Amino acid sequence: MKKSLVVFVVALAVLSSAAVLFAAPRGGAAGTLSFYTGEVMVQAKGAAWRKAGLDAPIYIGDTIRTGADSTAELTLSDGSILRMGANGRHRVEKASFAGKGRVVNVFSTAGRLWVNARTAVGKNSEFKVSTDKAVCAIRGTAFDVNAQAAETTISVFEGRVETWAQVFDRRYSGSAKKSQDRPEKVAGPSPVAGPTPVTMEKWVQIVAAMQRIRVDAKGGFALSDVAADEAETDSWLKWNRERDRMRDQLIAPEDPEAK
Cα–Cα distance measured from residue 131 to residue 35, given in angstroms and rounded to the nearest whole number = 24
Q: Which residues contact 10 (CB under 8 A, 6 or more apart)?
A: 90, 106, 108, 112, 113, 114, 115, 129, 131, 136, 144, 145, 147
Cα–Cα distance measured from residue 217 to residue 219, given in angstroms and rounded to the nearest whole number = 6
Q: What is the pLDDT of residues 53-88, one digit of tens each?
A: 999 999 999 999 999 999 999 999 988 889 999 999
Q: What is the pLDDT of residues 104-117, one digit of tens each?
A: 999 998 888 888 87
Cα–Cα distance measured from residue 1 to residue 86, given in angstroms and rounded to the nearest whole number = 35
Cα–Cα distance measured from residue 162 to residue 164, given in angstroms and rounded to the nearest whole number = 7
Task: Return the sign of the alpha-carbon dihedral for residues 165, 146, 240, 53.
Answer: negative
Which of 2.60.120.1440, 3.90.1170.50, 3.50.50.60, 2.40.10.340 is the CATH number of 6-251?
Answer: 2.60.120.1440
Q: Residue 60's pLDDT is what?
A: 96
Residue 75 or 205, more confident = 75
Q: For residue 257, give the 3-state DSSP assignment.
A: coil
Q: For residue 74, give the 3-state DSSP assignment.
A: strand
Q: What is the pLDDT of residues 83-92, one digit of tens each?
A: 999 999 999 9
Q: What is the pLDDT of residues 213-251, one digit of tens each?
A: 888 888 888 889 888 888 788 898 889 888 888 887 887
Instruction: Evaluate whether 158 touches 142 at the Cβ level (below 8 Å).
Output: yes
> Can you give the residue ranges of every domain in the chain?
6-251
Indicate the pTM of the whole model. Answer: 0.73
Interstrand relation of 40-43 and 50-51 (parallel, antiparallel or unpaired): antiparallel
